[in-house]
Chain A
């Protein structure tokens, strides 16, 4: 048991370091993370695209992609090593996660070589940005309950309906879209999957205002949007299978991200004075800090175990998904507890007026999403129970019935 690279890994790491040292600025220690909010800023996107092109040209984008996709044909552990090294540099992150993590792998898996040639390289270089049009007002955790309609019309399909929670729809060039083409078939069997140009006539994009006041997501409305049949991925009715390719990659993409961490709440506990001295000396505070530290360390070393499996060429199982489940609640609880330590002043949101530039207040309002996006806590628990522990799948009352005979209820979840 040690923490050492194999000789091959060490060589790869040295190459990545040399590339980063030449092309990027080192991140100052403790300077925090680059937040995804940056995606909304055109200047940020310009930087992100420039950086992505450099990375791709040096062979550090698409590290695990096969060469037929324009990738490096490398291993998962090489990707981890590159990410570790890149993490030390101040480079723009996050703009291409969905496209490169989910959309393009789906396109490459289910599309033709011509599709790969046309789209993969451009996406890899950051020239084209992709979004994912999956969730609907009435289809979230139960994604297969979606009802955006696709009707065949000669060599085209006509799309009508609404998608929601689409990150970046307003600045993306292309999107992947799952629709219902057969309302009489059972829900998983009537779906069809496409990709499309986001400038296609009939698409209307409206930002959603989140509880944090920011708008990272959109509603996307489709009114008689025409998509050529050549942009269908998988057969008509096979859309669910294609969607699973996209979703398999989602939890990996989302699971790795964090905002406030244990170090922030430690920092606050050092600064804040309670009646009996610094908060860090208070037993109740120490109890909470210890819990969070221990669970953070547990996740970190679980991640190391996953990396070890990757390094040995093994595929880590769904057990690597515990990170998302643990972190979501922890973020929310850390934020709420930190504000408790500030007493009534904790309600203030002005970065000038509260410690650590109001990061806890901001996290209180953003953290609910970390327990929902990319598989809610409840879905994650189901996945662990079913795929890791081997417990039975939930009883489904809707599996074999024609979709148009399913009860729908009143909660439409419209915004």
Chain B
């Protein structure tokens, strides 16, 4: 019986004191170094990401938090990464953390050969290289069996759009059509035949690019013929980490709305004394707590390499997509007209919420995946 399933244990279902301390330190650091003014500098400026913040983050070892020490990582494990993700999400940190850490590094940890790990993980941990995952090929479902990008004879050709942090990345895990089905490939973006143009998205605080490959040298990542399963596994792992970012963002949106509801008066009372507002925020709270609890279970499955990971990750993903979007949109609503201005920060969270909810595939896709898992694995309900 699944330990988490039978109700046979009393529980230690929380982060350890050490990790809570790490979370508090991360929170203090980001409050100081990543206030909304920093996010706005990226929103309004020419820089694709906050380079100073990024260098401080990698210097603290966060990028290598879950990278084993043998590859120059901090070896904090995935639970450590989860608490950092929550704080990065809360601060809307405008850095390529999710692409480089949850996707590229995790893909190499999971599927890389010894040589690939040695070549890339130390660089990813130290910030000497930024990585990303290139999957989408324009609007519409990225069906891995119908990708137009090809991988033949050690080279990829095709176009990926949008690639998160593609304009600043040194390395991309490119998903392509290989000779034996979908394949994960590892591409040095400094290599010949790579064209890269930044593209505009709904959230300019996180840069994205269109990348073209013209017979660009690429290495297979993982065994041939296993690309699809591998991609799913990488997405499952990343879904948990993204979920923590989203929970952090949802929680912050809720706090902003609560604070404003206390301070804004209408009809002679704080608007937070009206049930229309109270009940709305209670619902946001419920969605956020459910998402947090699902993310915790995902964290457990991720950190313990549990066979429940696909179900836990899907539940965490669906729940987090829902919670962050509802929290961000209702935060604007509670702020009224001011929430719709550029000047207030509400839109920063609204943009990020929608961006993250599509970063790994939509809610619709993950719901189908979840039910598929429950059907076949006959997982406990």
Question: Contacts A319-B289, A389-B281: A5 and B9 contacting too (C-beta < 8 A)?
Answer: yes
Picked from B8, B283, B367, B368, the residue with its CB within 8 Å of the CB of A84 is: B8
Q: Does A81 contact B (CB under 8 A)?
A: yes
- Which B residues are CB-close (under 8 A) to A385? 272, 278-279, 281-282
- In the complex the two chains form, is B374's CB within 8 Å of A3's CB? no
Q: Does B315 contact A (CB under 8 A)?
A: yes
Interface string of B66-92 (1 = CB under 8 A from A): 000000000000010000000000000
Question: Contacts A319-B289, A391-B258: A382 and B278 contacting too (C-beta < 8 A)?
Answer: yes
- In the complex the two chains form, is A1's CB within 8 Å of B282's CB? no
- In the complex the two chains form, is A391's CB within 8 Å of B261's CB? yes
Chain B: CB-nearest residue to A83: B7
- Which A residues are CB-close (under 8 A) to B7? 84, 87
B343-381, CB < 8 A from A: 364, 366-368, 370-371, 374-375, 381
Q: Does A381 contact B (CB under 8 A)?
A: yes
Q: Does B55 contact A (CB under 8 A)?
A: no
Complex CA distance for A326 and B290, rounded to whole angstroms: 10
- Which A residues are CB-close (under 8 A) to B3? 2-4
- In the complex the two chains form, is A299's CB within 8 Å of B290's CB? yes
Picked from A263, A289, A304, A386, the residue with its CB within 8 Å of the CB of B11 is: A304
B1-51, CB < 8 A from A: 3-4, 7-16
A284-315, CB < 8 A from B: 286-287, 289-291, 293-302, 304-305, 307-309, 311
- In the complex the two chains form, is B11's CB within 8 Å of A307's CB? yes
- In the complex the two chains form, is A293's CB within 8 Å of B315's CB? yes
Interface string of B275-287 (1 = CB under 8 A from A): 1011101110110
- Which A residues are CB-close (under 8 A) to B278? 381-382, 385-386, 389, 391
Complex CA distance for A384 and B258, rounded to whole angstroms: 12
- In the complex the two chains form, is A81's CB within 8 Å of B297's CB? no
Q: Can you list 26 A-B contacts (CB < 8 A)?
A: A1-B14, A4-B10, A5-B9, A5-B10, A13-B8, A80-B10, A84-B7, A283-B368, A290-B318, A290-B370, A290-B371, A295-B319, A298-B290, A298-B294, A301-B13, A305-B296, A307-B13, A325-B286, A380-B282, A381-B275, A385-B278, A388-B282, A391-B261, A391-B278, A393-B273, A395-B269
Complex CA distance for A289 and B14, rounded to whole angstroms: 28
Complex CA distance for A81 and B261, rounded to whole angstroms: 41
Q: Does B110 contact A (CB under 8 A)?
A: no
Complex CA distance for A378 and B15, rounded to whole angstroms: 33
Interface residues on B, range: 35 or more
Question: Contacts A1-B15, A5-B10, A295-B290: A266 and B273 contacting too (C-beta < 8 A)?
Answer: no
A320-357, CB < 8 A from B: 322, 325-326
- In the complex the two chains form, is B290's CB within 8 Å of A294's CB? yes
B304-319, CB < 8 A from A: 304, 314-315, 318-319
Q: Does A280 contact B (CB under 8 A)?
A: yes
A380-405, CB < 8 A from B: 380-382, 384-386, 388-395
Chain B: CB-nearest residue to A299: B290
Q: Contacts A84-B8, A380-B282 given; 20 further ones with Cβ under 8 A? A: A2-B3, A3-B12, A3-B13, A4-B3, A263-B381, A289-B371, A290-B368, A290-B370, A290-B371, A294-B315, A295-B319, A298-B315, A301-B13, A311-B10, A322-B290, A326-B290, A389-B254, A391-B270, A391-B273, A394-B273
Q: Does B291 contact A (CB under 8 A)?
A: yes
- Which A residues are CB-close (under 8 A) to B13? 1, 3, 301, 304-305, 307-308
Complex CA distance for A38 and B273, rounded to whole angstroms: 43
- In the complex the two chains form, is B273's CB within 8 Å of A395's CB? yes
Picked from A1, A3, A77, A378, the residue with its CB within 8 Å of the CB of B16 is: A1
Question: Contacts A81-B10, A294-B290, A391-B273: A262 and B367 contacting too (C-beta < 8 A)?
Answer: no
Interface string of A19-48 (1 = CB under 8 A from B): 000000000000000000000000000000
- The total number of A-B Cβ pairs within 8 Å is 178
Q: Does B224 contact A (CB under 8 A)?
A: no
- Which A residues are CB-close (under 8 A) to B289? 298, 302, 319, 322
A46-96, CB < 8 A from B: 77, 80-81, 84, 87
Q: Does B97 contact A (CB under 8 A)?
A: no
- Which A residues are CB-close (under 8 A) to B258? 389-391
- In the complex the two chains form, is B290's CB within 8 Å of A1's CB? no
Complex CA distance for A2 and B296, rounded to whole angstroms: 11
- In the complex the two chains form, is B275's CB within 8 Å of A394's CB? yes
Secondary structure at the B interface, as helix, strand, loop or mixed, is: helix
Complex CA distance for A374 and B260, rounded to whole angstroms: 31
Q: Does B293 contact A (CB under 8 A)?
A: yes
Closest Cβ–Cβ distance, residue A298 to chain B (whole Å):
3
Question: Contacts A287-B364, A304-B11: A298 and B293 contacting too (C-beta < 8 A)?
Answer: yes
Q: Does A6 contact B (CB under 8 A)?
A: yes
- Which A residues are CB-close (under 8 A) to B364? 287
Secondary structure at the A interface, as helix, strand, loop or mixed, is: helix
Question: Which residues of B does A touch, CB under 8 Å?
Answer: 3-4, 7-16, 79, 254, 258, 261-262, 269-270, 272-273, 275, 277-279, 281-283, 285-286, 289-291, 293-294, 296-297, 299-300, 303-304, 314-315, 318-319, 322, 364, 366-368, 370-371, 374-375, 381
- In the complex the two chains form, is B315's CB within 8 Å of A297's CB? yes
- Which B residues are CB-close (under 8 A) to A298? 289-291, 293-294, 315, 319
Complex CA distance for A37 and B16, rounded to whole angstroms: 44
Interface residues on A, range: 35 or more
- In the complex the two chains form, is B367's CB within 8 Å of A287's CB? yes
- Which B residues are CB-close (under 8 A) to A197? none
- In the complex the two chains form, is A301's CB within 8 Å of B381's CB? no
- Which B residues are CB-close (under 8 A) to A117? none
Complex CA distance for A390 and B285, rounded to whole angstroms: 12
- In the complex the two chains form, is B12's CB within 8 Å of A381's CB? no
- In the complex the two chains form, is B273's CB within 8 Å of A1's CB? no
Q: Which of A5, A298, A322, A384 has the most CB of B within 10 A?
A: A298
Question: Contacts A391-B273, A392-B273, A393-B273: A3 and B9 contacting too (C-beta < 8 A)?
Answer: yes
Complex CA distance for A385 and B270, rounded to whole angstroms: 13
Chain B: CB-nearest residue to A389: B258
Picked from B10, B294, B322, B374, the residue with its CB within 8 Å of the CB of A307 is: B10
Question: Contacts A266-B381, A299-B293, A325-B286: A4 and B9 contacting too (C-beta < 8 A)?
Answer: yes
Q: Does A9 contact B (CB under 8 A)?
A: yes
Closest Cβ–Cβ distance, residue B264 to chain A (whole Å):
12
Complex CA distance for A212 and B367, rounded to whole angstroms: 34
Closest Cβ–Cβ distance, residue A224 to chain B (whole Å):
41
Complex CA distance for A385 and B8, rounded to whole angstroms: 33
Complex CA distance for A319 and B290, rounded to whole angstroms: 11
- Which A residues are CB-close (under 8 A) to B299? 1
- In the complex the two chains form, is A389's CB within 8 Å of B9's CB? no
- Which A residues are CB-close (under 8 A) to B272? 385, 391-392
Complex CA distance for A394 and B269, rounded to whole angstroms: 10
- In the complex the two chains form, is B15's CB within 8 Å of A381's CB? no
Closest Cβ–Cβ distance, residue A354 to chain B (whole Å):
21
- In the complex the two chains form, is B374's CB within 8 Å of A1's CB? no
- Which A residues are CB-close (under 8 A) to B269? 392, 395
- Which B residues are CB-close (under 8 A) to A386? 278
Chain B: CB-nearest residue to A280: B375
